[in-house]
Amino acid sequence: MELNQIKQAARMIREKKTGTVFTGAGISTGSGIPDFRSSKGIWSRFDIREYGSIDSFKENPEKVWKFFSEIEKSFLKTSPNPGHFALAEMEKLGHLEAVVTQNIDGLHKRAGSRAIYEIHGSLDEMVCLVCKKRYSSSSALVKRENMFPYCECGEILKPGVVFFGEALPEKIFEEALSLTLKNHFIILVGASLQVYPAAQIPFLAKRNGLAVIEINLEKTSMTSRISDVFIQGKTEEILPILVDELKEKV
């Protein structure tokens, strides 16, 4: 455990006061949801580029819905881990203005974070590609025939997550970016930072003079280029210690 780096990060957060966090799949591996790198788990049974692409959905929505129904079921069996709870607590302490996440598992919300920007969308929503109407996944308006949800206009709805080949939700992305840049630090948590345009956020943060703290199992392409403090290890172990440090009287 890199206690010195954690203390350094806590000093930086105290000094800069408010910032945002950018999370990737690595925050949820401690809850049992594998990242794409893991050799086991749901992603090893499905090729995400095939099942998670907009072209596949248009060609064969039933096949893609089967995949997302499995994903949804597997997410419901999980719970937020101490890393998610620590971020919710950091928000309550007044240090975090928002969680910007690439994840679609909904665990930040379940852990109690309030300001959340899901830049890759969410399984809580469904959208019609034809009339653009959006539905909450629990909406009573949605007719489930077999296992496929339909729009009022008769089209099969698409899960509300961003598919390969689709643009990010512009408004959410712009708001997340602008809030990030208005602040003074950014914490990068469990993200390989290879997925664009989401990975632009930490780059622009650095360019705008924000302090950058990175918590990851392994070094990333950003570590030596933009991170002021790199804490190597598991987010579910490091974040609770960081929050304890922030709560210490100085």
Binding region for ligand NAD (CB under 6 A): 24-26, 28-30, 33, 35-37, 102-105, 120, 190-192, 194-195, 216-218, 220, 234-236
Residue 25 or 210 with smaller CB distance to ligand NAD: 25
Quote the least distance from Cβ 129 to ligand NAD, whole Å.
Answer: 21
Burial of 183 (0-12, 13-18, 19+ CB in 10 A): buried
From residue 113, alpha-carbon distances to 13, 54, 227 in Å are 18, 30, 24
Question: Is residue 86 within 8 Å of 240, Cβ to Cβ?
Answer: yes
Indicate the residue among 49 and 143 with the shorter CB distance to ligand NAD: 49
Which CB, 21 or 104, lies closer to ligand NAD?
104
CB of 211 to ligand NAD, least distance (A): 20
Work out the number of other CB atoms within 10 angstroms of the CB of residue 50.
13
Give the catalytic positions in this structure.
Answer: 120
Residue 151: what residue type? C
Q: How far is the CB of 2 from ligand NAD (least distance, A)?
A: 12
> Chain-centre distance of CA 56, in angstroms?
23
Task: State in angstroms the smallest separation of the CB of 26 from ligand NAD.
Answer: 2
Nearest to 197 by CA among 174, 225, 222, 224: 174
Closest CA to 207 of 176, 180, 168, 230: 180
CB 198 within 8 A of CB 119: yes
- Measured from the CB atom, the residue of 33 and 241 that comes closer to ligand NAD is 33
